[in-house]
C-alpha cells in the first residue's frame, strides 16, 4: 500500500488529496481517498465528489481507445487511423470551403488540464477558424470583459481575499456548494465560518436562499437579472455619502466622476420599487460595506449568465475600488501564481479582444477570438459561406450545456464530419464520427496552470500519475498536438503558424508536459529565469514537496498587473456608460409598465439554475456516487406559486418556455422567492446511442431544453441561462419527459 498526493481536478477548489494505492499493473487497486491536511491551500478539505476520481477510473463505460461510428454503432479503431482520419477530414473541409467551415468547442474540464490548456493553442493555430466556441461564453466571459476593460488584461481577475476580509457581500454565487469559482478556496464552509468567528459579516443576495445564504448573517432575495440595479444603487449611495467613498481609492483610478454622473438617476430611492429591496436597506448595506475594516463584493455565475453580465462584473469591481477595498488585504486582490498566465498573455500581446468581429448569422459579438456558444447551432444550420460543416469538441458537452438543446442536436446530427476528444459517449459525442479518448486524471500528471491564478492563497503543487496508463492509451496533450501537426500537414497552406507546426512535425518531437512545466516554472515569478547563478522554483522542488508549496498570502500588486494602455484603471469606459444607459432605459420602461399593470394579474415565472454538491455540470452522472439518494433533478417552486396553480409536492409538472418543454417532479420550498422556479442543469441523459449506463438510469431532464439561445448579453454575447420566462402547469400523467419538437424560431 502506498499513498499518492494528487490535486482533485473536478472543480476550481483544487483540494489536495491523499490516494491509497495497492498492487501494480493489472492488479492495481485504488483504496481510500482523503483530504491532505498538509496541502497549504486546502488544509485537508475535501467534498463528496472526490471519490468520483476513483469511480471514473473504474467506470466500464469510459472509453480507453478510439472509436468510429458505423451504421450499427461505434467500433474500435487504431490511434493512427483515428488521428489520421480526423485530421484529413477536417483539413479537407477547410481546403474546400475555407477555414471557417470547421468549428471547435472547448468545454469546462479543459481548463483543469495542463495537457489541454497548454497544448490546445497548436490545434487552434492549425485550424485558424473564426468558428471557435467554448463554455466560457456560458459562464465567465463577462468577468474577463470586466478585467479587460478595467485592467487591460482579460486574465487579471481580482479575487476576494476571503481569509482576511471582515465583510463579504456575495451576489449570484453559492460557493458552499460550488466550492468557489474565480475564487479557488477549498473548504468554503470552514472559511466562511472563520470569517464570521473573527467578527466578519456575510451577506448573500440571491433569488434562492441557497446553502451559502443559509450560513449568512443576512440574505436578500433579488429578482433574477436585477443585480445591475442593486449594484448601481449601492455605488450611488457610496458616491453620494462622501464619507463612504475612500479618500484615495487608488492613484491609478480615473473616471470616477463620469461614473458618478451616469449613476445619478439610479439612487436607492429610484430603484427600490423595481428592485424590491428598500432604499433603507440599500443605504444600510452601502454604509456597512464602506465602514467595515475591510470588505469585498464577489459575484459569479448568477451575475454573469445574466442580461447585464459585463456591467455587473464591472460594478462589483468598482464597488471594491471606490470603497478602498481593492489591491489590499481583506479586499479584492490579484494572486501571484508560480506560472503567471496573465503575465505571459501580456508578453505575447494577447491580453484579450472585444467585439473584434460579429458572427455571420446573427451579428453577435466575438470575444477574445471566440464566438458565443449560443450561436453555435445556427452557424452549423444556416447555409452560406462560412457555414460550419466539420466540428471538433474537446472536453465539452455543448448539446446539454448550451441553450436550446433541440437546435444543437439537430445541428450536430447534420454535420459532415465531427470528432470529439472525450472519453464518454454522451449527449454530444454520440453524434461524433470519431471519438479520441484521452487518459483520465489519475492516469496522467497535472499542474492546475489556470486556477492557481485565481486562488485565495498563493501555492504551487504538482500532481503525479496515480494509475499508469497502458500503452494503448493516449493523453490529451498527445492527441491535441498530433491533430495539430497532422492538420497543418494536410492543409499545406501558407501562414507562419502552420509552417512552424509542419517544422515541428518533421522534427518529430513535442515537449512533454513535465518538461514544459519545468520551463514555465523557471520563467515564472518564483523561478530562476534560467540564470545559473540564481536559485528559484523548479519542478523538482514541487516533486520534493508533494503536498504543495506555500508561496504566501495575496499581496498588493496592481502596479505590476495593470496593462491598460493608459496605465490607469478607467472605471467609466464608453461600454460601461452605454450599458448604464441601457439599464436606465429598462428601468424607465419597467416603471411605466408597473403603473399600468394589474397587480392581481401578475403571474409570471422565471427559471433559474441550481448546483448540487455531488454533481459537476453534465458529466459526472455516470458514477454511482453522483446519482444515489433522492431524485435531485426537481423543479423547486415557492408554496404560494404552487397553490395558485393548484400544484402539490411530488407531482410531475410541465415547464414550458419559448424553445421547449420538459416534465419534472415538483418540490415546494419557500427557500425560493415567489415568481422564481429552479431546475438544476446538466441532467437529461435521454438521447439514443449513448454509452452512459448509470446516467441513463437516472436521466432527469435538461434545463437547456428551456433556455433560449436567442437571448444574449450584448457586450460579450454570454448566454443568459437564468431568468428564463417559463410557464408551469400540471401534466396529465404519461407523456414524455422532454420534448422540443421544432426549433420554434
Ligand X SMILES: Nc1nc2c(c(=O)[nH]1)N[C@H]1C(S)=C(S)[C@@H](COP(=O)(O)OP(=O)(O)OC[C@H]3O[C@@H](n4cnc5c(=O)[nH]c(N)nc54)[C@H](O)[C@@H]3O)O[C@H]1N2
- Binding residues vs ligand X (CB under 6 A): 11, 107-109, 113, 135, 138-139, 171-175, 177-179, 181, 205-208, 210, 222, 224-225, 227, 300-303, 305-306, 394-398, 401, 421-424, 426, 438, 476, 608-609, 611-613, 615-619, 681-682, 703-704, 707, 721-723
179 in contact with ligand SF4 (CB under 6 A): yes
With CB under 5 to 8 Å by kind, the binding choice for 15 among ligand SF4, Mo ion, ligand X, none is ligand SF4
Residues in Cβ contact with 658 at an 8 Å cutoff, skipping those fewer than 6 apart: 708, 710, 725, 744
605-608/661-668 β-pairing: unpaired
- 167 beta partners: 201
Contacting Mo ion (CB under 5 A), which of 39, 85, 100, 139? 139
When the beta carbons of 112 and 252 are compared against ligand SF4, the nearer one is 112
Cα 226–chain centre separation: 21
Residue 108 CB, shortest distance to Mo ion, in Å, is 5
Give the SS3 label for residue 558. Answer: helix
Instruction: Please give the C-alpha separations between residue 3 and each of 7, 17, 29, 399, 499, in angstroms, as whole numbers.
Output: 13, 10, 12, 39, 45
186 in contact with ligand SF4 (CB under 6 A): yes
Q: What share of the chain is helix, strand, coil (3-state, %, to 5)?
A: 35, 20, 45
Contacting ligand SF4 (CB under 6 A), which of 41, 46, 111, 118? 46
623 in contact with ligand SF4 (CB under 6 A): no
Residues in Cβ contact with 732 at an 8 Å cutoff, skipping those fewer than 6 apart: none
Residue 159 CB, shortest distance to ligand SF4, in Å, is 16
Residues in Cβ contact with 13 at an 8 Å cutoff, skipping those fewer than 6 apart: 42, 45, 47, 179, 180, 184, 185, 186, 187, 188
Residue 139 CB, shortest distance to ligand SF4, in Å, is 16
Residue 49 CB, shortest distance to Mo ion, in Å, is 15
- 635 beta partners: 666
Give Rg (Cα) of the chain: 25
13 in contact with ligand SF4 (CB under 6 A): yes
Residue 514 CB, shortest distance to ligand SF4, in Å, is 23
Give the SS3 label for residue 549. Answer: strand
| Residue whose grid cell is 498570502 | 553
Which three cell numbers mark 16? 489536495
Question: How far is it, in rounded angstroms, from Cα 287 to Cα 285?
Answer: 5
162 in contact with ligand SF4 (CB under 6 A): no
Q: Are 612 and 176 in contact (CB under 8 A)?
A: no
177 in contact with ligand SF4 (CB under 6 A): no
Residue nearest to ligand X (CB): 302
Residue 658 CB, shortest distance to ligand SF4, in Å, is 34
Residue 9 CB, shortest distance to ligand SF4, in Å, is 7
Contacting ligand SF4 (CB under 6 A), which of 6, 11, 99, 424? 11
Give the SS3 label for residue 385. Answer: coil
Number of residues that bind ligand SF4 (CB under 6 A): 12
Residue 192 CB, shortest distance to ligand SF4, in Å, is 14
Residue nearest to Mo ion (CB): 139
With CB under 5 to 8 Å by kind, the binding choice for 703 among Mo ion, ligand X, ligand SF4, none is ligand X
Return the range that interacts with ligand SF4 (CB under 6 A); candidates 7-15, 71-79, 380-388, 627-635: 7-15
111 in contact with ligand SF4 (CB under 6 A): no
Count of CA atoms in the C-beta half-sphere (13 A) of 535: 2
47 in contact with ligand SF4 (CB under 6 A): yes
Return the DSSP state at 451. Answer: G
- 386 beta partners: none
- 370 beta partners: 367
Contacting ligand SF4 (CB under 6 A), which of 5, 15, 86, 309? 15
When the beta carbons of 126 and 608 are compared against ligand X, the nearer one is 608
Question: How far is it, in rounded angstroms, from Cα 293 to Cα 201?
Answer: 11
Other beta carbons less than 10 A from residue 314's beta carbon: 29
Residue 639 CB, shortest distance to ligand SF4, in Å, is 32
With CB under 5 to 8 Å by kind, the binding choice for 8 among ligand SF4, Mo ion, ligand X, none is ligand SF4
- Residues lying near ligand SF4 in the complex (CB under 6 A) are found at 8, 10-11, 13-15, 46-47, 49-50, 179, 186
The residues that touch Mo ion, with contacts defined as CB under 5 A, are 139
Amino acid at each position: 500500500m502506498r499513498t499518492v498526493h494528487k490535486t482533485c481536478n473536478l472543480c476550481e477548489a483544487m483540494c489536495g488529496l491523499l490516494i491509497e494505492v495497492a498492487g501494480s499493473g493489472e492488479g492495481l487497486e485504488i483504496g481510500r481517498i482523503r483530504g491532505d491536511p498538509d496541502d497549504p491551500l486546502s488544509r485537508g478539505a475535501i467534498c463528496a465528489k472526490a471519490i468520483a476520481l476513483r469511480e471514473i477510473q473504474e467506470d466500464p463505460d469510459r472509453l480507453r481507445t478510439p472509436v468510429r461510428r458505423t451504421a450499427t454503432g461505434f467500433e474500435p479503431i487504431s490511434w493512427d487511423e483515428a488521428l489520421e482520419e480526423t485530421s484529413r477530414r477536417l483539413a479537407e473541409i477547410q481546403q474546400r470551403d475555407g477555414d471557417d467551415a470547421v468549428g471547435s468547442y472547448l468545454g469546462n474540464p479543459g481548463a483543469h488540464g495542463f495537457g489541454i490548456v497548454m497544448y490546445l493553442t497548436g490545434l487552434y493555430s492549425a485550424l485558424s477558424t473564426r468558428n471557435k466556441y467554448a463554455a466560457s461564453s456560458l459562464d465567465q466571459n463577462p468577468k474577463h470583459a470586466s478585467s479587460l476593460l478595467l485592467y487591460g488584461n482579460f486574465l487579471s481577475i481580482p479575487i476576494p481575499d476571503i481569509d482576511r476580509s471582515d465583510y463579504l457581500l456575495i451576489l449570484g454565487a453559492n460557493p458552499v456548494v460550488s466550492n468557489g469559482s474565480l475564487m479557488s478556496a477549498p473548504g468554503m464552509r470552514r472559511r466562511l465560518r472563520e470569517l464570521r468567528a473573527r467578527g466578519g459579516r456575510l451577506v448573500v443576495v440571491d433569488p434562492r436562499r441557497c446553502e451559502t445564504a443559509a450560513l449568512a448573517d443576512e440574505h436578500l432575495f433579488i429578482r433574477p437579472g436585477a443585480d445591475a440595479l442593486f449594484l448601481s444603487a449601492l455605488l450611488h449611495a457610496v458616491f453620494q455619502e462622501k464619507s463612504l467613498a475612500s479618500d484615495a481609492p487608488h492613484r491609478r483610478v480615473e473616471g470616477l466622476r463620469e461614473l458618478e454622473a451616469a449613476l445619478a438617476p439610479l439612487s436607492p430611492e429610484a430603484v427600490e420599487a423595481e428592485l424590491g429591496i428598500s432604499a433603507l436597506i440599500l443605504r444600510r448595506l452601502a454604509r456597512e460595506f464602506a465602514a467595515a475594516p475591510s470588505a469585498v463584493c464577489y459575484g459569479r455565475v448568477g451575475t454573469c449568465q445574466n442580461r447585464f453580465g459585463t456591467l455587473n462584473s464591472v460594478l462589483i469591481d468598482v464597488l471594491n475600488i471606490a470603497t478602498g477595498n481593492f489591491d489590499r488585504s481583506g479586499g479584492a486582490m490579484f494572486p501571484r501564481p508560480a506560472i503567471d498566465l496573465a503575465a505571459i498573455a501580456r508578453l505575447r500581446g494577447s491580453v484579450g479582444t472585444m467585439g473584434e468581429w460579429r458572427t455571420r448569422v446573427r451579428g453577435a459579438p466575438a470575444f477574445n477570438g471566440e464566438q458565443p456558444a449560443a450561436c453555435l447551432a445556427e452557424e452549423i444550420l444556416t447555409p452560406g459561406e462560412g457555414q460550419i460543416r466539420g466540428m471538433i469538441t474537446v472536453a465539452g458537452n455543448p448539446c446539454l450545456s448550451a441553450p436550446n438543446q433541440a437546435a444543437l442536436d439537430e445541428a450536430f446530427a447534420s454535420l459532415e464530419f465531427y470528432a470529439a476528444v472525450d472519453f464518454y459517449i454522451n449527449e454530444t459525442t454520440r453524434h461524433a464520427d470519431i471519438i479520441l479518448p484521452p487518459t483520465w486524471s489519475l492516469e496522467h500528471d497535472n499542474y492546475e496552470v489556470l486556477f492557481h491564478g485565481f486562488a485565495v492563497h498563493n501555492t504551487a503543487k504538482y500532481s503525479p500519475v496515480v494509475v499508469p496508463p497502458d500503452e494503448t492509451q493516449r493523453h490529451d496533450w498527445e492527441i491535441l498536438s498530433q491533430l495539430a501537426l497532422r492538420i497543418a500537414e494536410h492543409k499545406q497552406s501558407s501562414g507562419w503558424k502552420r509552417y512552424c507546426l509542419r517544422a515541428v512535425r518533421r522534427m518529430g518531437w513535442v515537449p512533454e508536459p513535465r518538461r514544459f512545466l519545468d520551463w514555465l516554472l523557471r520563467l515564472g515569478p518564483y523561478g530562476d529565469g534560467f540564470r545559473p547563478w540564481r536559485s528559484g522554483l523548479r519542478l523538482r522542488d514541487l516533486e520534493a514537496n508533494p503536498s504543495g508549496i506555500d508561496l504566501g498570502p495575496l499581496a498588493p500588486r496592481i502596479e505590476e498587473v495593470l496593462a491598460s494602455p493608459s496605465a490607469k484603471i478607467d472605471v467609466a469606459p464608453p461600454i460601461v456608460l452605454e450599458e448604464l444607459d441601457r439599464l436606465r432605459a429598462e428601468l424607465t420602461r419597467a416603471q411605466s409598465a408597473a403603473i399600468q399593470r394589474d397587480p392581481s394579474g401578475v403571474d409570471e415565472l422565471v427559471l433559474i439554475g441550481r448546483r448540487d454538491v455531488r454533481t459537476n455540470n453534465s458529466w459526472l452522472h455516470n458514477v454511482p456516487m453522483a446519482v444515489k439518494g433522492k431524485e435531485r433533478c426537481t423543479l423547486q417552486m415557492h408554496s404560494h406559486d404552487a397553490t395558485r396553480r393548484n400544484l402539490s409536492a411530488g407531482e410531475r409538472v410541465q415547464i414550458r418556455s419559448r424553445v421547449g418543454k420538459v416534465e419534472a417532479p415538483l418540490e415546494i420550498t419557500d427557500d425560493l422567492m415567489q415568481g422564481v422556479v429552479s431546475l438544476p442543469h446538466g441532467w437529461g441523459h435521454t438521447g439514443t446511442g449513448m454509452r452512459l449506463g448509470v446516467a441513463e438510469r437516472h436521466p432527469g431532464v435538461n434545463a437547456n431544453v428551456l433556455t433560449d439561445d436567442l437571448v444574449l448579453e450584448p457586450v460579450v454575447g454570454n448566454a443568459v441561462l437564468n431568468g428564463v420566462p417559463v410557464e408551469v402547469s400540471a401534466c396529465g400523467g404519461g407523456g414524455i419527459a422532454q420534448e422540443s419538437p421544432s426549433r420554434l424560431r
